Amino acid sequence: MSTREISNYYDSTERSDTREDLIFALSKVKGRNIAVDCGCGAGSDIAYLRSNNFTVHAFDIENESISRCRKRFKDDEQVILSRDSFNTFHYPESSLVVADASLFFCPEKYFESVWLKITNSLTEGGIFCGSFLGPKDTMAGPEYDKEAFWNDTLVMNESKIKKHLSNFELLKWTEHDLSGETTDGTPHHWHIFSIVARKKSKLGNR
């Protein structure tokens, strides 16, 4: 994806409405309000989390993302930013991990170790709020130009996702399977699994 396309994307999402999944996830968080925002983009989720008194550790692989967020949250010591990938980020202990439309871009060869890091970083009863790219999405198909956009897209079906959620209690599961157009008018079919799940305690659910 070109620098211009990335900038346009951040411009269009910087003030996005908060997703229902994230609002729901926050209602389920117990304990200390510490969150990790994976692939923080222009910082819309950070802003919502801060408005709810969360300390936010956020990362993104794109320089522009971190530059924008540093400017946006320059006076806020409770926003800790780093330019990292999923596999280089140090996941602090947290009560909430947010990974919306970002795990799509975690290289498959790193996913198992990344998922273990995410799981281990969550306190017992901690909440995961994120999404996975399904096999029917345009980005998963043979006509998707990986060289122009992203050359290593993580695609997961329902059974594989639920296998990785074996240590979680599933609180909300939504499958998005619809066609439309992107913001620039390009036809696209979306197939996305959106999830809110609670990490189980060692003694099981209570």
CATH of the domain at 36: 3.40.50.150
Q: How far apart are the C-alpha atoms of 139 and 202, rounded to whole Å?
A: 37
pLDDT averages per 10-residue partition of the chain, 206 residues: 55 70 97 95 94 97 92 96 97 97 93 97 97 93 65 90 96 96 82 97 56
Task: Write down the pLDDT at residue 146.
Answer: 61
Q: Which domain holds residue 136?
A: 3-199
- Determine, yes or no, domain membership for 79: yes
- Determine, yes or no, domain membership for 108: yes
- Determine, yes or no, domain membership for 205: no
- Determine, yes or no, domain membership for 172: yes
Task: Write down the pLDDT at residue 166.
Answer: 95
Task: Write down the pLDDT at residue 205.
Answer: 44
What's the helix, strand, coil split of the chain in %, to 5? 30, 30, 40
- Give how many domains the chain has, as a whole number: 1
- Determine, yes or no, domain membership for 183: yes
Task: Write down the pLDDT at residue 30.
Answer: 92
- Determine, yes or no, domain membership for 11: yes
Yes or no: say if 135 and 193 are a contact pair by the CB < 8 Å rule.
no
Task: Write down the pLDDT at residue 151.
Answer: 66
